[in-house]
Amino acid sequence: MNTSTYTSQSAFDGSRLRVILLVDLHEGAQQRFLDAYEHMRSRVASVPGHLGDQLCQSVENPSQWLITSEWATAPPYLAWVNSEEHLETVRPMQDCVRDIRSMRYTVIRETGGTHRPTAQATDAVQGPVRVGDGVTRHALTFTVKPGSESKVAEILAGYAPPQARVDDSTRLRRTTLFMHGNRVVRTVEVEGDLQTALRHVSRQPEVRAVEEALNPHLELSRDLTDPASARAFFIRAAMPAVHHVARGGPEPAGLLRHALYYPALEGCGMALARLLSQQDEAAADDPASPVHRSTVFHRDDLVVRLIDTRDPETDPVRAVGIHGTRKAAVLARLLDGGALGVEGPLSSERDATRLLAHTEMTLITDRKAAES
C-alpha cells in the first residue's frame, strides 16, 4: 500500500483493470447493438491482456445496458482503446447508442473468482492503494496545417473561458493549451465527472466558436455538426493521463506550468511513458526537486509531460531530466530525434541531452477557475 505523503495515480502499478461502459440505446436498436457487441467481443478476445467481458441489461429499463471488461493491467487496454482498430471495431455499436459513458477502475479487493492464486487471497489487497486529490486529468492533441501556427495560437489564446461550474458535483478547474511546432495539446483538470464536464464545455457558445474557427486549419478535417465525425475526431485526439504525482501539503504560491513534448519511435510510446513516470516518482521523493506536480499523458507514439515548478528560475527541461548514463541512453533510444529536429543515431547521455533541449512546448493560454 502506498503510504507516502504525495498523491500518485498510475497506469503502471501492475493492477488488474476493470472497464465499465454504461450504454443507453436508441429505441429499436437492440438487435443491431447485440450484433455489434458480438463483433466487438470476437475482436477484443484476441487482444493481448484482455481477460474477459460481460454484457448486462438493466432490469428496470431495457434500453440501458452495461458492458464490463477485465484486463491484466492498464497499458494493454490503453494501447487497444487508442488504436485505429478499436475505433473501427466500436463504430457499429456507437451508431446504436443515445449515450455512452466509460469508467476505468483498478482491482483492489475481490471475493472468489478465478484469478485468486489461493483461498487466502480473498481479503488481500490486489493492487496498491493510491492517494488522490479529487481531480481528473485529461488531454487532447491534434495537428494544424504547417504555416497556420501563429493564427491558431491567436485563436486559442483569445476566447473567453467557459463557465467553470457544471453542476453541484462537477467543476472545470483548469484548462491549459500548449503548442510544439504544428501540434496543439490541450490539458484539462476536472473536479467531478470528466465526461459531464467535457459535454458542458462543448455546448458553450464561446468554445463552439473557437472550434469552428480552428476547422480550416486542422490537418485532420472534422465536421462538428455530424456526431459521428465529431466523435471520431475526439477519440483520435484523446490523450489519457497515465501517471500523476504531486507533493503533499498546501500548494505553494506562484507555481509555474510547463509542458514537454516527447515523440517516441514507432511502438515505443508506452515504454517512454513508463520511463518518465518512474522518473517523476523518484522526483516526488526528492526534497530538492523544484517540481511540485507532474502528469504524464500518452497516446500511440506521443508522450506529453505537464509539470508545475516552484522556482520561477527553474529550467523545466533540467528539472525533469533523466539522471544517469544508462537511463539517458534508454531515453535516447526511445525518442524520435527526427521529430524533434535532431538527426543521426541516438544512444548516449549526450544524445538525450540534445533531444531534451527541443522538448519544451510554448504556452498559449492557462485558465484557472476561481479558488481552484
Average pLDDT over residues 167-186: 91
Residue 160 confidence (pLDDT) above 80: no
Percent of the chain with pLDDT strictly greater than 90: 42
pLDDT of residue 332: 81
Task: Specify which of 62-71, 118-127, 195-204 reaches the highest per-range mean pLDDT.
Answer: 62-71
pLDDT of residue 354: 74
pLDDT of residue 155: 94
The predicted model scores a pTM of 0.87
pLDDT of residue 243: 94
pLDDT of residue 347: 62
pLDDT of residue 121: 46
Instruction: Look over the chain and give the mean of its residue pLDDT values, rounded to a whole number.
Output: 85
What domains sit in the chain, N to C, each tagged with a CATH number?
Answer: 17-106 (3.30.70.100), 135-368 (3.30.70.100)
pLDDT-based confidence at 371, cuts 50/70/90?
Answer: low
What is the three-state SS of the chain? CCCCCCEEEECCCCCCEEEEEEEEECCCCHHHHHHHHHHHHHHHCCCCCEEEEEEEECCCCCCEEEEEEEECCHHHHHHHHCCHHHHHHHHHHHCCEEEEEEEEEECCCCCCCCCCCCHHHHHCCCCCCCCCCCEEEEEEEEEECCCCHHHHHHHHHHCCCCCCECCCCCEEEEEEEEEECCEEEEEEEEECCHHHHHHHHHCCHHHHHHHHHHHHHECCCCCCCCHHHHHHHHHHHEEEEEEEEECCCCCCCCCEEEEEEEEECCCCHHHHHHHHHHHHHHHHCCCCCCEEEEEEEEECCEEEEEEEECCCCCCHHHHCCCCCHHHHHHHHHHECCHHHCCCCCCCCHHHHHHHHCCCECEEEEEEECCCC
pLDDT of residue 301: 93
Average pLDDT over residues 85-100: 87
pLDDT, tens digit (0-9, with 9 covering 90-100), for 96-132: 988 888 899 998 888 775 554 444 444 555 666 777 7
Average pLDDT over residues 171-195: 91
